[in-house]
Every structure is written in structure tokens, then in C-alpha cells.
Homo-oligomer: A and B are copies of this chain.
Amino acid sequence: MKTFQDYLDTINQAIAAIPYPDAPRQLYAPIEYHMALGGKRVRPVLTLMACDAFGGDSSLALNAALGIEMFHNFTLLHDDVMDNADVRRGKTTVHRRWNDNTAILSGDTMLTIATQYIVRCANWPVMDLFNKTAIEIYEGQQWDMDYENRSDVTVDEYVNMIRLKTSVLLGCALKTGALIAGADDQQADLLYQAGVNMGLAFQLRDDVLDVWGDPVTFGKEIGGDIMNNKKTFLLINAMQLAQGDDADELRHWLNDPYATRDNKVAGVTALYERLGVRQLAEDAIAHYNDLAIAAFNQANIPDEAKNAFIGLANRLSGRTF
């Protein structure tokens, strides 16, 4: 049976072999640059795994896997413009290395290239799922931006936002592989549900790692969300739970423009621990991971495929990277 690394090698080789036109160079060079930055490649691997799990020929799912990974990278190019981000995967972002216009236009091009890969599967339900998922991801990004200007975001709203912005693409990746293998709708939907719950656990782990992660393995500076007052699962829960002095202290950290990074990150982290929101996040991660595992277990796929999916879900939800 193929390992995660086998699938990853297949994906990375296929990405390296994408034949970009020679010109206009300013349009295609940023796409090649960004696709070569790497990343976990979780989504395309899930597509190949799901296709194999239902007895399909995963080489047929390779176009869909590439389309989904290209789509994901398109969203990163545009998100980095919208967030004015300098660094992605330890390298300079496209809009910073070139400029905003390049990131916009090369991103548009990636979206259409992604669609072309999906078209090659010649499967209308896969095409419909891809477009529906894309719309949900834009909606998630819009909610994320809307929430920056609101102080009353609820946990349910936040979870729905990360479901749209992050999780549905994992569901889409799994369901796409299942559909290409010829799985029926009910079976494909089980994998979709598994993917969405995996995605929720994955994103909540991201929130936790931003506070308690090891910068070496996580690959990012710790405390970025805290410094940006980003309304994560942790901050939203903390804002609801903090009373009296704790509430005053939290308000102070959120509003003091002169707080040093070290002081603010240490202060908010201590508050999070005192208020128990770290444990709330761990409980939520375990909850969504359990739902993902239950869905994989219900699917009509061989035990070794179930075990591979469950191993991956456990690894991603408990990850330190």
C-alpha cells in the first residue's frame, strides 16, 4: 500500500512537470515560484488516497489533485495581497517579490488553470463540487475580513467561517477522489464530511500552534494572531469567559498600542491558560477529529485505507508543524 510519502512524491513530481508557457514571463514566473514553495500538499494527497480507497486508478485523479492544489495556491496569492503578508512558507510572498498587480493577475490565471485541470477529469459532478467549494471559500474569506471589524463574533460564527475558508476544500479533495473512483453519492459524502471535520481540527490546531507552537517546527513566529488581535477560537472564547480583572487585562492587551511584542504575547498567553481556553481548543480539536474518524470508519473502504486516513487525521490534528 502506498504511503503518504509515495503520494507526496507523485504530487511534487507532477507539480514540477507542469508545462507553463514561456511568455509572458511576468505572468507565469510568479506561478512557478509559488507552486515550488512547497507546503504540506495535504489536499492533493487526499484526492489520490480517496480515489485509491474506492478502488479507482489514482493516476486518473491526478489532474483533479493538481487542480485542487493550484486552486489552493491561487487563494494564497490573493489572500497575501488582502492581508498584506510579507512571508509565506518562509519565502517572500508573490505580491512583495513582484507587486500587487502581478499577484492579482497571476492568481486569476491560476484559478483558470485549476479549472482546466478539473475539466480534464471530464466529470460534471466533480466540476460542480469544485465551483461550489470555490464560492464557499470566497465567502469564508469575506466573513474573515468582516470579523476583523466586529467585536461580537460568536464561536459558532467563527467555526462556520473556518469551515468555509479552510475545511470545505479538504472535504472537496476527498469527495473528488471518491467520485473519480466511481463511489456513489452517499459514500462520497461520507468522505466529504470526514474532510470537513478534519479541516476544522486542522485549523483549530493552527490557532493553538500560533500560541503554544515551537517556532522551529511550526515554521512561523509565535504570537502573530495575538499581536494582530485576530479573532481566533482562543480569543473569542477568552472574550466571552473573562470577568473582572481578567476582562480588564484582556481589554488592555487588545487596546494598548504601545505594548511590546514579548509582553503582549506572554500576557495574553497566560490569560488564555488561566481562562482554560487552551483546553477548550484541545477539546474542540478532539471532537472534530473524532467526527472525522467516525466518518472514515463508516465508509465502505478497506481497513488499510481507513487506517491510513485515520492516521493522517490524527497526525494533522495533533501536529506540531
Residues of chain A whose beta carbon lies under 8 Å from any beta carbon of chain B: 21, 23-24, 26-27, 78, 81-82, 100-101, 104-105, 107-109, 111-113, 115-116, 119, 122, 124, 127-128, 131, 134-135, 138-139, 141-143, 145-146
Task: Report the nearest B residue to A128, measured CB to CB.
Answer: B119
Taking A23-B139, A109-B135 as given, write out 19 further A-B residue pairs in contact, using a Cβ cutoff of 8 Å, ordered by the A residue number.
A24-B139, A24-B146, A26-B145, A27-B142, A78-B105, A78-B108, A81-B101, A81-B104, A82-B101, A82-B104, A100-B100, A105-B145, A111-B111, A111-B112, A112-B135, A112-B138, A113-B135, A115-B115, A119-B124
Docked pose: A131 CA to B113 CA in angstroms: 8
Docked pose: A24 CA to B128 CA in angstroms: 21
Docked pose: A122 CA to B119 CA in angstroms: 12
B residues less than 8 Å from A122 (CB atoms): 124
**Interchain nearest-CB distance for A148 vs B (Å):** 11
Q: Which of B101, B105, B119, B138 makes the CB contact (< 8 A) with A127? A: B119
Task: Report the nearest B residue to A110, measured CB to CB.
Answer: B138
Docked pose: A303 CA to B298 CA in angstroms: 63
**Interchain nearest-CB distance for A209 vs B (Å):** 26
Docked-complex contact B142 and A105, CB < 8 angstroms: yes
Task: Report the nearest B residue to A140, measured CB to CB.
Answer: B24
Docked pose: A26 CA to B150 CA in angstroms: 14
**Interchain nearest-CB distance for A179 vs B (Å):** 15
B residues less than 8 Å from A128 (CB atoms): 119
Docked-complex contact B101 and A145, CB < 8 angstroms: yes
B residues less than 8 Å from A24 (CB atoms): 139, 142-143, 146
Docked pose: A104 CA to B141 CA in angstroms: 11
From A21, A100, A105, A145, residue with most partner B Cβ within 10 Å: A105
B residues less than 8 Å from A112 (CB atoms): 111, 131, 134-135, 138
Q: List 5 interface pairs A-B (beta carbons < 8 Å), by A numbering.
A: A26-B142, A26-B146, A78-B108, A82-B105, A119-B128
Docked pose: A143 CA to B138 CA in angstroms: 28
B residues less than 8 Å from A131 (CB atoms): 112, 115-116, 119
B residues less than 8 Å from A78 (CB atoms): 104-105, 108
Task: Report the nearest B residue to A81, measured CB to CB.
Answer: B104
B residues less than 8 Å from A107 (CB atoms): 108
From A27, A119, A138, residue with most partner B Cβ within 10 Å: A138
